[in-house]
């Protein structure tokens, strides 16, 4: 049994079957990549996993408990946390304030901007936020306004906001999208480091094959809303169906 078990999940948007009978099992302490062409349903699947979308049918179990019908913050409290395709940070707040919000949310529920006030002066919480920023190499930028950060730094900040919630399963939707090569390399190194230090299970959606092949233990290829093949990186690299459907050969 995986830490995450998705069984028979279907999701339609009007006439479009975005997910069709998706079965997926993610083993604890692995990095599981979900790849596939644009429109394959990858983000829709992630949205189902974090409670942003309710599937039409099927089940999603995390560590033996159903996540379906729970609010996103309840799912976060269960131990699933996500890094979005477009970084979702509070642009007008400082880096430090952004990390304080999930510190508070972990204890008391929803992500709210005014939630930082009660914790801003709690030493235990600010120390936790500082340690987190140090881990992602952002402590020197703690007092910069988030909107002024580079794309790579915004991503690092978002990872800090995710990790400070101490998830057991971290979901990443195209964590290197739009990044320059050097930032992509840094992100790969950071994710490897997080994994070694924290032993978190990761599900990662990624277009960049270099990222996928340098991080993933297992790969699921999604095509038109349905898993096409699953295997180790070596199996995926050489699978004729994948080469045809995805690598365009």
For ligand ADP, the binding residues (CB under 6 A) are 13, 16, 18, 36, 38-44
To Mg ion, the closest distance from the beta carbon of 239 in angstroms equals: 22
Task: State which residue, 40 or 95, has the beta carbon closest to ligand ADP.
Answer: 40
Task: Between 101 and 242, name the residue whose CB sits nearer to ligand ADP.
Answer: 242
Footprint of Mg ion (CB under 5 A): 42-43
> Residue 85 CB, nearest distance to ligand ADP (Å)?
8
> Locate tokens 């699953």: which residue?
230
Residue 58, helix vs strand vs coil: strand
Is 189 or 247 the residue whose CB approaches ligand ADP more closely?
247
Residue 15 or 64 with smaller CB distance to ligand ADP:
15
44/128 with CB nearer ligand ADP: 44
Residue 245 binding result from Mg ion, ligand ADP, none, given CB thresholds of 5 to 8 Å by partner type? none
CA separation for the pair 100, 120 (Å, rounded): 7
* 102 touches, from Mg ion, ligand ADP, none (C-beta below 5 to 8 Å by class): none
Q: Which residues on neighbouring strands pair with residue 172, listed in sequence order?
A: 83, 204
Residue 39's binding partner among Mg ion, ligand ADP, none (Cβ under 5 to 8 angstroms by kind) is ligand ADP
- Among Mg ion, ligand ADP, none, what does residue 77 contact (CB within 5–8 Å per kind)? none
Long-range CB contact pairs, 173-177, < 8 A, 24+: 173/42, 173/43, 173/46, 173/82, 173/83, 173/84, 173/85, 173/205, 174/85, 174/205, 174/206, 174/207, 175/83, 175/204, 175/206, 175/211, 176/206, 176/208, 176/211, 177/85, 177/207
């Amino acid at each position: 049994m995986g830490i995450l078990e998705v069984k028979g999940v279907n999701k339609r948007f009007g006439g479009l079957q975005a997910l069709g009978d998706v079965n997926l099992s993610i083993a604890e302490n692995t990095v599981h990549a979900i790849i596939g062409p644009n429109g394959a349903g990858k983000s829709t699947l992630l949205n189902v996993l974090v409670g942003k979308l309710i599937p039409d049918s099927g089940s999603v179990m995390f560590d033996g408990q159903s996540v379906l019908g729970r609010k996103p913050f309840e799912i976060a409290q269960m131990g699933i946390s996500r890094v979005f395709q477009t970084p979702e940070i509070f642009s007008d707040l400082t880096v430090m304030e952004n990390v304080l919000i999930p510190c508070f949310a972990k204890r008391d529920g929803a992500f709210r901007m005014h939630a930082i006030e009660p914790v801003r002066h709690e030493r235990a919480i600010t120390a936790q936020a500082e340690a987190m920023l140090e881990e992602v190499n952002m402590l020197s930028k703690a007092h910069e306004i988030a909107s002024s950060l580079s794309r790579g730094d915004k991503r690092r900040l978002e990872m800090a906001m995710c990790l400070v919630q101490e998830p057991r399963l971290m979901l990443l939707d195209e964590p290197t999208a739009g990044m320059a090569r050097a930032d992509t390399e840094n992100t790969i190194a950071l994710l490897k480091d997080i994994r070694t230090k924290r032993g978190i299970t990761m599900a990662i959606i990624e277009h960049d094959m270099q990222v996928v092949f340098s991080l993933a233990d297992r790969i699921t290829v999604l095509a038109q809303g349905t898993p096409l093949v699953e295997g180790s990186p070596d199996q995926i690299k050489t699978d004729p169906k994948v080469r045809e459907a995805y690598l365009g050969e």
